[in-house]
Structure formats: structure tokens, C-alpha cells
Amino acid sequence: MAGSKLQAIWNHPAGPKTIHFWAPTSKRIISIANFADFSKPPVKISYPQQMAVTCTGLIWSRYSMVIIPKNWNLFSVNVAMAGTGLYQLTRKIKKVGVHPKNFSGTITFLRGKQLLQENDDKKLSGPT
């Protein structure tokens, strides 16, 4: 009985003989690292990083249920990523709150990109 179950797992289209098994398995390291950061003071948590972890977890959780065959390993690792990311964001928001000054680096980066785009648009439109 156990032998046939192990053989079914081994021969599954998303089993250990494929990249579809090993990629999500190694992705667990991100969730483990995020879990280890639970002891980190909330002020040291990065909004952009945790938003990326959370969004990645949510998007890929959905994707893993749409593809054929369903990849439960990919689903479980991404649910863990989304969960740890949401928990970290919740800790940060409760401690620090959501204020534009907390995103100053991100806002500066986006403004810089906007200015570059405006300059490119001016160059393309020619002299006025």
C-alpha cells in the first residue's frame, strides 16, 4: 500500500522527477526566512519587500490551481508566503502605521522614473 502511494507521488507530473516539484520546494526558504523575521522589530520590516512577498504568494497560489496538473506543492508554499507577508505587514502597520514618509525611498524612486518619462516624452515630441 505505502509502496504504491510513494510510486504514485514519484511518477506524478509535478513529482520529484520534475522541476515542478523542486522549484516550489526551494522557494520555501523565503517563507522560512520571513518566519525567522517574526522576532525582528516591526520598524525594521520593509513595506516593499513584504508587499512583494505577499503579492507573489497570492498570485502564484491562484496560478497553481489553474494549471494542469494542479501543483499542490506550489500552492502550499505560496499560501505560506502570502500568510507570512500579510502577518509582517500587519505587524508593521500596527506599530508604525501607513504614512507617505514610510515609503519615501519608493516614492523618490517612482518620482525619478516619472521625471525620466516626462523628459523622454519631451524629446519625442520635439521642440515646442
Instruction: Decide if 120 is inside a domain.
Output: no
Instruction: Decide if 106 is inside a domain.
Output: no
Q: Which long-range contacts (CB under 8 A, 24 or more apart) does 86-95 make?
A: 86/54, 87/38, 88/34, 88/37, 88/38, 88/45, 88/50, 88/53, 89/45, 89/47, 89/50, 89/51, 89/54, 91/38, 91/42, 91/45, 92/42, 92/43, 92/45, 92/47, 92/50, 94/42, 95/42, 95/43
- Examine the pLDDT at 128 and tell me if it is beyond 60: no
Instruction: Decide if 93 is inside a domain.
Output: yes
Instruction: Decide if 19 is inside a domain.
Output: yes
Instruction: Decide if 102 is inside a domain.
Output: no
Instruction: Decide if 67 is inside a domain.
Output: yes
Instruction: Decide if 38 is inside a domain.
Output: yes
- Examine the pLDDT at 14 and tell me if it is beyond 80: no
- Examine the pLDDT at 114 and tell me if it is beyond 90: no
Q: For residue 59, what are the domain limits?
A: 13-97
Q: How confident is the model at residue 36 (pLDDT cuts 50, 70, 90)?
A: very high
Q: Report the domain count for the chain.
A: 1
- Separation of alpha carbons 103 and 72, rounded Å: 35
Cell 508604525, located at residue: 96
Instruction: Decide if 117 is inside a domain.
Output: no
**Tens-digit pLDDT profile for residues 43-62:** 888 888 999 999 999 999 99
